[in-house]
Amino acid sequence: MNTPILTAVIVDDEPEAINMLSALIDRIDDLEITGTTSRPEQSLSLCLKLRPDIVFLDIQMPETDGLQVLMSLHEHQFFPAAIFTTAWDQYSLKAIKAGALDYLLKPIDRTELATAIQKVRDQKTAHSIEDRIESLERAVKNHRKLKFNTRSGFILIHPDEIFYIQADANYSEIFLSEVQREVVSMNLGALEPLLPEQFIRISRSIIINSTWLTKLSGVQKKCWLKKDNEEKEFCVPEKQMGELKRKVGGVRR
């Protein structure tokens, strides 16, 4: 069985550093560089376009740094394996906290690079098993009530009861209808992983239950929900519209 080819993007403001790392990567089987940039401001769009398995990020760069690039990728719901490359070791703790898989000091050692790549492969293998388990868990989750923390304890709500969810600072408002709602002591980021696939985050502040989605307009950049004769209209940012269309492909406009 052939080892799947991993793809990588290199982000470093020094072209020489990109060339040196590229030369090392060329010696590694089943790893392909699909893009490089020495302009950090272009790194976000490049990574989102190419969707690599691995992003090699220099930490200290003008205008932005590797930590900020990684945070921006996460904000766009893209979570590649991040390997930081730098001449400075004082940023290692910050890098790990930001979600880095590894941290390589320049000049990069070939053996340490190979070890980092193997970590990526091990992680992907583990995730393939986890994904299958997760799909089973989601199937079970769809048939049970969800538990949400509140200021005084918790509440249990069946997913189909939820109309939409709206951010409220560090809290979230779960709307069962336009007049009935529950305030939970969880922000949208903490709440989102608890929800089954029918829930879609359409903006920073709104998660909709696509069970109640009745209309989607790419021209108006809006969507409409209807539940028990109550209709709700939402604006959808352009960058989220494509993802929303993909997830609810069969919805008529």
Q: Give tens-digit pLDDT for 72-94.
A: 998 898 999 999 888 766 555 56
Considering the entire predicted model, what is its pTM? 0.50
Identity of the amino acid at 232: K
Between CA 59 and CA 66, with CA 65 as vertex, the angle to 5 degrees is 55
CA–CA distance from 54 to each of 7, 27, 47, 88 (Å)? 6, 16, 10, 21
Give pLDDT, residue 150: 87
Q: Please tell me the distance from the alpha carbon of residue 200 to that of residue 251, in angstroms, as a whole number.
A: 14
φ/ψ (deg, to 5) at 207? -120, 130
Query: How much of the chain exceeds pLDDT 70, in percent?
Result: 85
Q: CATH assignment of 146-247?
A: 2.40.50.1020
pLDDT in tens, 94-140: 666 566 788 888 889 999 999 999 989 888 776 655 555 555 455 44
- Judge whether 6-138 and 146-247 match in fold: no
Query: How much of the chain exceeds pLDDT 90, in percent?
Result: 47
Which of 59-73, 141-155, 164-178 is the most confident on average? 164-178
Top-level class of domain 6-138: alpha beta
Q: How many CB atoms lie within 10 A of CB 50?
A: 14
Do you find a cis peptide bond into 80, omega within 30 degrees of 0? no
- Structural domain spans, the chain: 6-138, 146-247
Sequence-separated (6 or more) residues with CB below 8 Å from residue 199: 159, 162, 165, 192, 207, 208, 209, 210
- Range scoring the smallest mean pLDDT among 164-173, 219-228, 242-251: 242-251
Q: Please tell me the distance from the alpha carbon of residue 204 to that of residue 250, in angstroms, as a whole number.
A: 24
For residue 44, give both structure tokens: 């976000």
- The residue-averaged pLDDT of 181-200 equals 90
